[in-house]
Structure 1
């Protein structure tokens, strides 16, 4: 009776499930700590790639949408156990259009080695996770098709077309991580019994299989996605959190915590001397900084080049006047950046020259 109650509670959960099965070579059938870590890391990386694809389509995301992907992973629960994959069989694959048929045929033709693999399941709540699960499912199938077409023709165009279906550098790297050191990996998606399958998705999707023979294609695609991803023109607002320059009056680097205008948490910006001075005063006044430039794809969209239009974010008139008074003398350039005009504040009276305590 207790077992029945437990099963009823599990079935009542409105979650989609993703199962991974990684087949280990004959000489490595003991699931070591290293193998376990590799599988867990690869599964999380695939889920992250699905979360990124649910936000936008890109061949390379870098640091973009990191916070959203992290928040999604917090909602996912994992269940790890060694043994058989769902509807398991030795991992096989084919190139060309018959890849999916080969995966289904292998399920019916062979029995799995009970100690030859390791399974991992991820449970994704439908509320707050269905979009990411669907994005990963479609991206995996598109990646499998692109790899098969590339292996049969040598063309890279299938990978370019697959970007619109959610395939990315991040997904390629996750698949490479899962395949290396194994005889193959099988990924199966199961939709929630309560909510049913999403629109335009089969009720029981066929597993997607990748093998060591796919590594060359995966590596080429991963490299291609990074090299062809363009930089992004941005106009962002952020808080100054770090500043550094080698000369007191020269240019320097500023790190901003992004408020809006870019899908990254922080960026590094190189500023010329005048712009750096404005950033210093904005930081001292507790004001956000407005910067325009190119968010560079090289380095993962973490750096803005060609910075221009550097200015503190405007504030209310009364607040602006208070800030200007608190900043004191010598900030007329800062005032112009804020949109304030008028004569500079009076200079403080000159201190008397020291006379050693004696009167002349």
Structure 2
């Protein structure tokens, strides 16, 4: 606090506040980065009304709903006029200060170019347009299930995924932004185009295919359309997400809207509108869900992994091994039953810090978490750095020794 008089070093200034060290994603974008056509398209999408303006120069937009307080935006038609950047800057400032929920959605889509996925649930509202805790939780849980199903379908096509592809699919959801769920009836997710467009495209196609398959089943009594819908991304996980969305409502809708900045992806409609499901669809959806669960076959695999758990009923004989998968299957862990010789090889490989390789069939029952017909267990040589890491992991999990040696 007090410096010597003869100290030539100037006193340090105040430390910058953390908020000022870098731009936040919620900050409005720079006016020079905003395309007027994209801004106009987003305002129209989110319910803003065009109220005229100077023809060929700018348009005037007012927010949706009553009580907008006289707020209006002047949006230039193009960047060919000298005052274009000033008008865009004023419009962005007005959006940031607006109390309209749609203003926030427009800013998010401008800051992070995103495809928008919206869910609606027709449920009774509470006092002052509120919703019960469970109603809003159901909406968010169903939306997350549906996003995960879309992420899984973007990785591979299957009628039932179980534990397969879960890690990369879940990682894809980390970049998605979500808006509020007013009254537990509506929710919007912003899927960044750079990382998440395959998810949005696959979900859009899968929902259309699921709707057509349900209509086909109700019209003809056949379930064949659900078999073909797997190629479009329909799965047990997607159908269960739709069931969770519709259950307890008078109807539900899902809509995918493309980012105006990125354009419409190839093979998709520009404005297809929401896909609707009703409580009358639930019996068909549940039947399809069970069908996918039964029909998905087991998969022959050759897995490389590290042993993390061993168990058998006595000091000798067959036992059960749990393996953390390193390669060969898109699942984090599998369990397998091994005969006495293979169990001994797996135990020795673990004690010296080596992974094992084993072949068998990844069983769909139980979610692809179990390897049946396991055979040909062999240790796999790894470099010294990886071996040291595996040995360290072994020492940190001493309960393995207790279980392996106790025969529990």
Listed one character per residue, the Cα deviations across residues 68-87 of structure 1 (whole Å, up to 9, x for unaligned) are 1110111111112326xxxx
Q: Shift of residue 20 of structure 1?
A: 0.3
- The 1-side partners of 2:244 and 2:130 are apart by 19
Aligned to 1:271: 338
What stretches of structure 2 of length at least 5 have no aligned partner? Answer: 1-89, 98-102, 388-408
Name the TM-score, length of structure 1 as normaliser. 0.76
Name the TM-score, length of structure 2 as normaliser. 0.67
Q: Shift of residue 3 of structure 1?
A: 2.6
Q: Shift of residue 4 of structure 1?
A: 3.1
Q: Taking structure 1 as reference, are residues 174 and 316 closer, same or farther at Cα in structure 2, changes over 3 Å only?
A: closer
Q: Does 1:35 align with 2:168?
A: no
Q: Shift of residue 231 of structure 1?
A: 0.2
Aligned to 2:116: 17
1:243–1:253 contact (8 Å) kept in structure 2: yes
Listed one character per residue, the Cα deviations across residues 7-55 of structure 1 (whole Å, up to 9, x for unaligned) are 5743422111100010014899851110111110100000011011111
1:14–1:192 contact (8 Å) kept in structure 2: yes
Number of residue pairs matched by the alignment = 286
Listed one character per residue, the Cα deviations across residues 131-189 of structure 1 (whole Å, up to 9, x for unaligned) are 01100000000000000110111101011111111100000100000111001111011
Q: Taking structure 1 as reference, are residues 9 and 34 closer, same or farther at Cα in structure 2, changes over 3 Å only?
A: closer
Aligned to 1:261: 328
Q: Does 1:4 align with 2:95?
A: yes
Aligned to 1:291: 358
Higher relative contact order (CA 8 A, sep 6+): 1
1:42–1:175 contact (8 Å) kept in structure 2: yes
Listed one character per residue, the Cα deviations across residues 222-248 of structure 1 (whole Å, up to 9, x for unaligned) are 000010100000001001111111111
Q: Taking structure 1 as reference, are residues 316 and 62 closer, same or farther at Cα in structure 2, changes over 3 Å only?
A: closer
- The 2-side partners of 1:56 and 1:138 are apart by 14
Aligned to 1:226: 293
- The 2-side partners of 1:132 and 1:68 are apart by 12
1:25–1:183 contact (8 Å) kept in structure 2: no
- The 2-side partners of 1:316 and 1:211 are apart by 57
Which secondary structure does the structure 2 equivalent of 1:246 belong to?
A: coil
- The 2-side partners of 1:36 and 1:218 are apart by 22
1:177 to 232, 237, 244: 244
Which secondary structure does the structure 2 equivalent of 1:127 belong to?
A: helix
Q: Does 1:53 align with 2:144?
A: no
- The 2-side partners of 1:196 and 1:42 are apart by 28
State how 1:60-139 maps to structure 2 within 5 Å. 60-82=160-182, 118-139=185-206
Q: Taking structure 1 as reference, are residues 313 and 138 closer, same or farther at Cα in structure 2, changes over 3 Å only?
A: same
Aligned to 1:214: 281
Which secondary structure does the structure 1 equivalent of 2:364 belong to?
A: coil
RMSD of the TM alignment (CA)?
2.1
Which secondary structure does the structure 1 equivalent of 2:139 belong to?
A: helix
